[in-house]
Amino acid sequence: MWGDGRPSFMVTQPRDGKPASVGNGVTISFEAPDHHAVHAFHEAALALGSPDEGAAGPRAWAPRSVAAYTRDPDGNELAVYGYQAESLGMSG
């Protein structure tokens, strides 16, 4: 992981232990301004028919992180994440 005070670039092995390929081991991520935007991204993706690859919620890979996951039409994992202090609370 790399970042100035928080992770902003990561290179890791696929979590499932299988070889990296399109759709496995590739995640394109975008930082959201707050946890509301993380939820909105995920809800919009699901409404458009994208699969749920991880509901919006806290993530252990960084303190105060909240993320949500889906996939693009080619199968690549898409994520949106936030680190703000308000990201600790998932209500509202």
pLDDT score of 3: 64
Segment (H or E) for 44: helix 35-47
* Overall number of domains in the chain: 1
**Whole-model pTM over 0.75:** no
Residue 52 inside a domain? The answer is: yes
Residue 37 inside a domain? The answer is: yes
Residues of the chain with pLDDT under 70: 1-3, 6-10, 84-92
How many whole angstroms separate alpha carbon 58 and alpha carbon 20? 25
Query: Which range marks the domain in which residue 40 is found?
Result: 27-88
Coil, helix or strand for 4? Answer: coil
